[in-house]
């Protein structure tokens, strides 16, 4: 029987199989010849002390034992060409994994996506970066794979359902992701690798008889006697089905407006909002690893920080080591920032959203919009930033210390944000209470991370799409909308997920519940 073992070694030693065998042999008081193979099950970094260590969970095989390696294959997906159809609105992680689960259960998914496929999206991303043109249906948030396709591709979640997480990770590996994501404590794929994986998932859906319709925006949801009957697209086409999984993402404002207009219950939801801070990656490495140069055996350092400031949480969000800041507006007349990293995380800058938790009472000035109050609050800040930065896709920017001292930065160095920056006192972008919390918070961040509070750090505003400003209420047991039979609010856009993995898990859960309802009849 193989034996599991926890060890701690240096970053260099963790890369040397021969050393690991010798080390394990010493710990087990046996000969190296008795150690047939050492397999790494889990890997994490311990940077709490000046001498950085790598934690390894190992599987040790002894001489004379067969080496059993985990083989990861795709499930036995069925041909569902003639099966009952279920509409899946949105081809982000929630929608795609819902579609795969439907196929596994013998149902035919009809995936409708307002944006383009991953290759087609690239032209629109170039347009927003170079020409400052925002396509409302194809951008960093909308299109095949959703916002996650052109993001850091983080694959960790606070979900306690580890079995579900492992299932999603194994499916991603089966579709082409590196098996390292099963090992790393904080796995990620990288925006350069995700598009091919997303394409392969789409091809599998089509190969099994499902449909994927791009450039297909939902303009109406057909409801009769409290039951869904289908959707109407922007071209007036009707697609009929009595089960709809609504997985439209956190930025599909037109869907929230449609539901409100159709008197389908939705509710305002708290979210977080702030800026995206960019530091030199070398500086973050020095802070986190307590060294001048991290060397070749350590990855670019991430950071995670949380403070209570003025009775509110202020924290890092979607931190991207060795990454860049991207323009993520979804409509003309607004600017929005987000971050992403390539798989190697080899850019010279590090960035993170630094955001403050909001409460429903913060949206009082927008109360006339009812459950859309938070969305309108969010929109007002994005539009104000657009005007202050010159009404292009440039963003308002300020050096960190200057911001905390209410001083306009005399110059802004070139940052990773391609459309460019405009020097603005960011107190003009945000409400006073939010500005004050961030000014105090950055000073406190600097006390916890010596060197973080510096004018080398450039703040880009706003980071506003942290999560959905709306929740679409659903029954906790059936996962159907509380009023509309056959409608399954799903993923980030409905307020039930926060990231690729949790969205994928929620997509599968909704697909299972939809299938249960169908097969009961």
- Quick: pLDDT tens for 22-50: 999 999 999 999 999 999 999 999 998 88
Looking at residue 150, its pLDDT comes to 74
Which CATH number does the domain 85-267+469-520 belong to among 3.30.70.20, 3.50.50.60, 3.60.20.10, 3.30.360.10?
Answer: 3.50.50.60
How is residue 203 written in tokens? 């091809």
Beta strands in 113-199 (DSSP E): none
- Strand partners for 481: 474
Edge to edge, what strands does the sheet with 349-357 contain? 306-309, 312-320, 349-357, 272-280, 458-463, 395-399, 421-423
- Quick: pLDDT tens for 255-311: 999 999 999 999 999 999 999 999 999 999 999 999 888 989 999 999 999 999 999
- Strand partners for 509: none
- Quick: pLDDT tens for 346-365: 999 999 999 999 999 999 99
Q: Which ranges of 237-280 would DSSP assign to H, the alpha helix? A: 253-261
Q: Which ranges of 247-295 would DSSP assign to H, the alpha helix? A: 253-261, 281-289
- Distance from C-alpha of 282 to C-alpha of 326, rounded to nearest angstrom: 21
How is residue 129 written in tokens? 């970066």
Q: What's the whole-number mean pLDDT along residues 158-169?
A: 72
- Distance from C-alpha of 233 to C-alpha of 118, rounded to nearest angstrom: 21
Nearest residue to 348 via CA among 296, 416, 406, 288:
416
- Distance from C-alpha of 493 to C-alpha of 500, rounded to nearest angstrom: 12
Give the rounded percent of residues in the chain with a pLDDT score beyond 70.
98
Give, in words, the CATH class of 3-62. Answer: alpha beta
- Distance from C-alpha of 289 to C-alpha of 307, rounded to nearest angstrom: 21
How confident is the prediction for the chain on average, in pLDDT? 95
* Cis peptide bond prior to 437, omega within 30° of 0: no
- Distance from C-alpha of 168 to C-alpha of 181, rounded to nearest angstrom: 11
Contacts by 26-30, CB closer than 8 A, 24 or more apart? 28/3, 28/60
Q: SS3 sequence, 390-406?
A: CCCCCEEEEEHHHHHCC
Q: Which helix (H) or strand (E) holds 96?
A: helix 93-104
Could you tell me the pLDDT band of residue 87, with boundaries at 50, 70 and 90? very high
Question: End-to-end alpha-carbon separation of the chain, Å?
Answer: 48
Nearest residue to 458 via CA among 442, 472, 469, 474:
442
Nearest residue to 198 via CA among 212, 184, 186, 208:
212
pLDDT over threshold 80, residue 175: yes
Q: What are phi and psi of 132, to 5 degrees?
A: 65, 30
CA dihedral 247, 248, 254, 257 (to 10 degrees): 30
Provide the whole-model pTM.
0.95
Could you tell me the pLDDT band of residue 151, with boundaries at 50, 70 and 90? low
Residue 461 and residue 329 in contact, taking contact as beta carbons nearer than 8 Å: no
How is residue 158 written in tokens? 């606070």
Q: What's the whole-number mean pLDDT along residues 430-440?
A: 98
CA atoms within 13 A on the CB side of 427: 15
Q: What's the whole-number mean pLDDT along residues 114-125?
A: 94
- Distance from C-alpha of 151 to C-alpha of 189, rounded to nearest angstrom: 9
- CA of residue 407 relative to chain centroid, distance: 33
Beta-carbon count within 10 A of 110 CB = 23
- Distance from C-alpha of 456 to C-alpha of 467, rounded to nearest angstrom: 28
- Distance from C-alpha of 431 to C-alpha of 243, rounded to nearest angstrom: 42
* Higher local confidence (pLDDT), 162 or 469: 469
- Quick: pLDDT tens for 492-504: 999 999 889 999 9
Nearest residue to 125 via CA among 109, 108, 111, 138:
138
Beta-carbon count within 10 A of 153 CB = 26
Q: Which helix (H) or strand (E) holds 116?
A: none
Give me the sign of the Cα torsion angle 352, 354, 357, 360: negative
Looking at residue 162, its pLDDT comes to 46
Q: Which ranges of 183-342 would DSSP assign to H, the alpha helix? A: 194-207, 253-261, 281-289
Q: What's the whole-number mean pLDDT along residues 217-232?
A: 98
Nearest residue to 93 via CA among 515, 445, 496, 517:
496
Domain ranges of the chain: 3-62, 85-267+469-520, 272-463
pLDDT over threshold 70, residue 160: no
Residues in the chain: 521
Residue 136 and residue 332 in contact, taking contact as beta carbons nearer than 8 Å: yes
Q: What's the whole-number mean pLDDT along residues 12-25?
A: 95
Q: Given this chain, do its domains 3-62 and 85-267+469-520 carry the same CATH topology?
A: no
Looking at residue 68, its pLDDT comes to 82
């Amino acid at each position: 029987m193989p034996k599991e073992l926890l060890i701690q070694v240096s970053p260099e030693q963790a890369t040397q199989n021969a050393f690991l065998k010798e080390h394990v042999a010493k710990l087990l008081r046996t000969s190296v010849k008795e150690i047939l193979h050492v397999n790494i099950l889990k890997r994490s970094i311990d940077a709490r002390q000046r001498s950085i260590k790598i934690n390894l969970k190992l599987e040790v095989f002894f001489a004379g034992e067969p080496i059993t390696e985990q083989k990861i294959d795709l499930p036995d997906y069925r041909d569902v060409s003639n099966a009952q159809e279920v509409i899946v609105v949105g081809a982000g992680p929630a929608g795609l994994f819902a579609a795969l689960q439907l196929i596994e259960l013998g149902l035919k998914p009809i995936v409708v996506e307002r944006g383009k496929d991953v290759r087609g999206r690239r032209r629109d991303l170039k347009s927003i970066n170079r020409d400052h043109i925002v396509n409302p249906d194809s951008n960093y948030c909308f299109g095949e794979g959703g916002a996650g396709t052109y993001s850091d591709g983080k694959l960790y979640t606070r979900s306690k359902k580890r079995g579900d997480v492992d299932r999603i990770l194994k499916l991603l590996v089966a579709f082409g992701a590196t098996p390292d994501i099963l090992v790393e404590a904080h796995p990620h794929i990288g925006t350069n690798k995700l598009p091919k994986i997303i394409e392969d998932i789409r091809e599998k859906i089509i190969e099994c008889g499902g449909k994927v319709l791009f450039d297909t925006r939902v303009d109406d949801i057909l409801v009769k006697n409290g039951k869904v009957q289908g959707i109407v697209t922007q071209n007036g086409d009707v697609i009929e089905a009595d089960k709809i999984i609504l997985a439209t993402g956190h930025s599909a404002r037109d869907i929230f407006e449609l539901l409100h207009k159709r008197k389908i219950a939705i509710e305002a939801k708290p979210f977080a909002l702030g800026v995206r801070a960019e530091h030199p990656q070398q500086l973050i490495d020095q802070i986190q690893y307590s060294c001048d140069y991290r060397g070749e055996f350590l990855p670019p350092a991430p950071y995670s920080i949380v403070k209570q400031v003025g009775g509110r949480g202020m924290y890092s969000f979607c931190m991207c080591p060795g990454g860049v800041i991207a323009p993520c507006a979804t409509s003309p007349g607004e600017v929005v920032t987000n971050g992403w990293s390539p798989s190697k995380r080899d850019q010279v800058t590090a960035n993170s959203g630094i955001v403050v938790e909001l409460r429903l009472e913060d949206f009082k000035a927008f109360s006339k919009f009812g459950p859309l109050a938070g969305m309108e609050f969010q929109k007002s800040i994005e539009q104000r930033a657009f005007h202050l930065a010159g009404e292009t896709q440039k963003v308002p920017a300020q050096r960190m210390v200057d911001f905390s001292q209410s001083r306009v930065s005399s110059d802004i160095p070139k940052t990773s944000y391609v459309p460019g920056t405009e020097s603005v006192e960011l107190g003009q972008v945000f409400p006073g209470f939010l500005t004050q919390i961030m000014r105090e918070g950055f000073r406190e961040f600097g006390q916890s991370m010596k060197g973080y509070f510096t004018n080398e750090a450039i703040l880009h505003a706003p980071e506003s799409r942290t999560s959905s400003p709306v929740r679409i209420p659903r029954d906790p047991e059936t996962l159907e909308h509380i009023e509309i039979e056959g409608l399954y609010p799903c993923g980030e856009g409905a307020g039930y997920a926060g990231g690729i993995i949790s969205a994928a898990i929620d997509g599968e859960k909704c697909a299972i519940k939809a299938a249960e309802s169908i097969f009961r009849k």
